[in-house]
Copies of this chain bind each other. A is one copy, B any other.
Amino acid sequence: MSKQERSTQFSKALMEVRSMVLDGSFPVGERLSETAVAEQLDVSRTPLRQALDRLIDEGLLERIETGGCRVASFSFDDIVDAIELRGVMEGTAARVAAERGVSVEKETECRQLLIKLDDAVFGADELDFSSYVSLNERFHELLTEMSGSKIIKREVERIARLPLASPSAFLDGQTSIPNFHASLKIAQAQHRAIFDAICRREGARAEALAREHARLARHNFDYVLNINPRLAERVPGMALVAS
């Protein structure tokens, strides 16, 4: 973040390569040539290699034993596990928030955020998708912050960067999922329940609810992969899932 403002070349390489990998621009499993990619992005090899190291760390690329790296491939189970872990981590953030208490400011912000989310989901107007997505992202970020722990926040967000594990991984361009609007209502009810549990200092309930909340993503993943695969190309990262 702070680095992404300053360091143009590295952050450019990071963002571009990441989105190309998620888009499936590189064939899964094929070694990617540093010189070729560097030339393609108009960046020297030094910041590119920095970006590749980072993407290896994120798990999107994997190192080849003899040198260089390739696009990683993920099994169905891998994605399920990543989503499960995100649920576990958000559950921990929620539990810790409940156990240790939340600052008045965060509580107030969350309360107002939930009203806006209610409005977006249950309101009379037609659903504004992109605003829902950003509100949802803010809710999940706020959840990590309510834990009051910078380490928990950092590690939850790291897990959420695993492929298809983020809270909004299946939210883009998916209006065609049946009962999708209905599932957003369920999600919002869960948001409220999690917040309620935190306010009541009910740690175990908050944790269980947050875990269950993450399973909505698992359900969407299952749908996209097994029932309606033509949606796959609209979901970034789906190209990495071995079919």
* Minimum distance in angstroms from A8 CB to a CB of chain B: 13
Chain B residue at smallest Cβ distance from A154 = B59
Q: With the chains together, A159 CA to B6 CA distance in Å?
A: 28
A151/B162 contact (C-beta < 8 A), A2-B65, A53-B50, A92-B85 known: yes
Which residues of B are found within 8 Å of A89, using beta-carbon distances?
88
Query: Is B149 touching A81 in the complex (CB atoms < 8 A)?
Result: yes
Please provide the chain A residues from 45 to 82 with a CB less than 8 Å away from any CB of chain B in the complex. 46, 49-50, 53-54, 57, 59, 63, 65, 67, 77-78, 81-82
Residue A155 is within 8 A (CB to CB) of chain B in the complex: yes
Which residues of B are found within 8 Å of A53, using beta-carbon distances?
50, 53-54
Interface of A: prevailing SS? helix
* Minimum distance in angstroms from A6 CB to a CB of chain B: 7
Mask: chain A, 108-149; 1 = CB below 8 Å from B; 0 = not: 000000000000000000000000000000000000000001
Q: With the chains together, A57 CA to B157 CA distance in Å?
A: 13
Residue A152 is within 8 A (CB to CB) of chain B in the complex: yes
Query: Is A159 touching B149 in the complex (CB atoms < 8 A)?
Result: no
Chain B residue at smallest Cβ distance from A92 = B88
* Minimum distance in angstroms from A7 CB to a CB of chain B: 9
Query: Is A3 touching B63 in the complex (CB atoms < 8 A)?
Result: yes
Binding site for B on A (CB under 8 A): 2-3, 6, 46, 49-50, 53-54, 57, 59, 63, 65, 67, 77-78, 81-82, 84-85, 88-89, 92, 96, 149-152, 154-155, 158-159, 162
Pairs A-B, 5 closest by C-beta atoms:
A81-B151, A81-B149, A88-B92, A2-B65, A78-B151
